[in-house]
Structures are given as C-alpha cells and as structure tokens.
Amino acid sequence: MQPAYSVILFTTASGAGYGLLCLMGLGMATGALPQDRLFGLLGLGLALALITLGLLSSTFHLGRPERAWRALSQWRSSWLSREGVLAIAVYPPAVLLGFGWVILGRTDGLTTIAGAAVAVLAPVTVYATGMIYQSLPTIRQWKQPLTAPVYVALALATGAVLLCLILAVTGIGARPAGMLASGLLVAAGALKIAYWRAIDLAPPLANPGSATGLGRFGKVHQLESPHSQANFVMREMGYAVARRHVRTLRKLVLALLFGVPILLSLLTSVLSGGAAVLAILIAAMCASIGVIVERWLFFAEASHVVINFYGGGPA
C-alpha cells in the first residue's frame, strides 16, 4: 500500500498522546503519580496537543473533509466510525481531569473519576484505530490478530517515554517511570517481532490463478496489462518495497524504537538532574523516529489482493 504521510503522522502522534494520557489518568486515579500542578499541566497539555495534532492531520487524507462527521453515524458496523466516536469521547474527561488537577488542585472526587475514564478510553481508542486495519480481509499483512495489540502496545510505550521526559524536566525524578517505559518497550518490541514473523510466514490470500478461477488449468500468466498507464488503484495499492530494504528498515526500527530507548530509559532510572533529562530526551527522539519508520513499513509492506489483476503476483 502507498504510505500516506498524514495517516502516519496521525497514528504515531495521536498514539503517543493517547498512551501518555492513559498513563497520566491511571497515575491520577491510583495515586501513583505526583500531584504537582506543573507536571499535570505539561503532561496533559502535551498529550492533548499530540492527540489533536494527529486528528487534524488525518483530515488531510480525506477527499471531502467537510463530510467526515457523517462517518460517526456508522458506529454499529464501522471501526472507523467507532474510532471517531471514541476520539471525541476522550476530550470531556480529559478536560475535566486537567481542570481538577491543574486549576483546582484536587486529586479526589470527579478528578479521580475523570482519570480512570481517560485511562480506559485512551487505549480503547487506539485499539479501534488498529482494528480499522485488522478488520480488512483483503490485506494479508493487516488481517493479523496482532495488528491492533501492536498499536496499543506502541502507544503505551511511546507515551511512557514521554512521561519519563516530563518527570525528568520538572525535576520530580523518573526512576519508576524509567523502569515502566523500558518494560513497555520490551513488551511492544516482542509483539512487533511476533507480528513480523507472522506476516512473513502467512501464505498469500490469493494468486492470479485463484483470483481468476483458472488455477485448476495450470499456472496463470498475465498477457496484457489492464490499463495503458497507472491508475489510482495501481498507485495506492500496488506500492511495493524491496525485501532487502524491508530487512534494513526493520533493523532500524529495532534499534531506534526499542534498543536505544530501552537502554536510555533504564539509565534514566539511575541518573538525576541534567544527565537524566539528556538521556530520556535522546530516548524520546529516537523512539519518535523509530515509530514513524515502523508505521511507514506497516503500510509499505501491505499488499492488497487486487494487485493480482495488475501483474503484481500473489498477495
């Protein structure tokens, strides 16, 4: 599939924002995070900024953005619609959490309830995003049971790195958060490796023989191209990336998204002051680049069964 940069920005930025918001809400509801107002302002502000940036960037991929609101009515059958409804539903409790925490300085009552609400709604929203792709039966690389869990795991892991950064910047100390971030990154890395292994071993959904129904007569070859020049389907769904480039980019993802941030997150848990800030800042930068490469690969490796009719081979 042709990687859409607006969708890549949407899924990576909003994913990290939802992950950070989930951890902030959970920390407030359980009392595991410090109730410092500056920390609450920076954490919730960054989370909502990333979420809003991601949602706005997603509209650039729409042909008619002014009609996007109509998709919300199909929540009974569409994961895209459910994602939109959940994305809107996150804002009221998030704003209430921020108002209680930052403005009123309250850590009980409705503030705690709001924290618990966003801790549930944020990862569920990311899960709905992943299910948009996992529910498509025509793309083998997406129709995998690990697709949506990987989305959630990466959101929580990148959000945890941002949480460490905010704790270090505010001088509170990021020792427990550093351990949490490294643990979530290890879990997300394990899921991603399992996902790559699954799509590498999964058989094609269709080949030219099965797609045309002529396979029983022998191997089917294309005589002529269906079109004299590239069309929309060929440009969007016929995108392919060489296997040697896939291997190189996967190694880059393992290093930038998992390897370096895991080591630096662990290092942050034993450092303090400017050294801790520098370590987790580098970790956040590497994780940001790594998750963008990971999401580009997620789209670039996907092959739609329609390419069988355009000489693209099995998909």
In the predicted structure, residue 151 carries a pLDDT above the cut 90: yes
For the chain, domains (ranges, CATH) are 5-215+233-310 (1.20.1630.10)
Distance of CA 99 to the CA centre of its chain: 27
Scan for tokens 């009980």, then name that residue.
108
Average pLDDT over residues 266-281: 89
Token pair, residue 312, equals 């693209």
CA pair distance 222, 208, nearest whole angstrom? 8
pLDDT reported for residue 66: 65
pLDDT reported for residue 63: 66
In the predicted structure, residue 65 carries a pLDDT above the cut 70: no
Under 8 Å between Cβ of 307 and 313:
yes
Nearest to 129 by CA among 112, 143, 147: 147
In the predicted structure, residue 189 carries a pLDDT above the cut 70: yes
Average pLDDT over residues 114-119: 96
CA pair distance 186, 275, nearest whole angstrom? 23
Nearest to 179 by CA among 167, 169, 170, 191: 167
Q: What is the pLDDT of residues 225-260, one digit of tens each?
A: 777 777 777 777 777 787 888 999 999 999 999 999
Q: Is pLDDT larger for residue 178 or for residue 272?
A: 178
- 121 pLDDT tier (thresholds 50, 70, 90): very high
**Angle made by CA atoms 227, 243, 284, in degrees to the nearest 5:** 115
Average pLDDT over residues 289-305: 93
In the predicted structure, residue 315 carries a pLDDT above the cut 80: no
In the predicted structure, residue 15 carries a pLDDT above the cut 90: yes
pLDDT reported for residue 105: 85
Token pair, residue 212, equals 């045309």
pLDDT reported for residue 313: 66
Average pLDDT over residues 92-99: 96
Q: What is the pLDDT of residues 204-233, one digit of tens each?
A: 888 777 777 777 888 877 777 777 777 777
Under 8 Å between Cβ of 153 and 124:
no
User: What does the H/E/C string look like for the chain?
Assistant: CCCCHHHHHHHHHHHHHHHHHHHHHHHHHHCCCCCCHHHHHHHHHHHHHHHHHHHHHHHHHCCCHHHHHHHHHHCCCCHHHHHHHHHHHHHHHHHHHHHHHHHHCCCCCHHHHHHHHHHHHHHHHHHHHHHHHHCCCCECCCCCCCHHHHHHHHHHHHHHHHHHHHHHHCCCCCHHHHHHHHHHHHHHHHHHHHHHHHHHHCCCCCCHHHHHCCHHHCCCCCCCCCCCCCCHHHHHHCCCCCHHHHHHHHHHHHHHHHHHHHHHHHHHCCCCHHHHHHHHHHHHHHHHHHHHHHHHHHHHCCCEHHHHHHCCCCC
CA pair distance 184, 172, nearest whole angstrom? 21
- Predicted TM-score (pTM) of the model is 0.92
Q: What is the mean pLDDT of the chain?
A: 89
Q: Is pLDDT larger for residue 42 or for residue 6?
A: 42
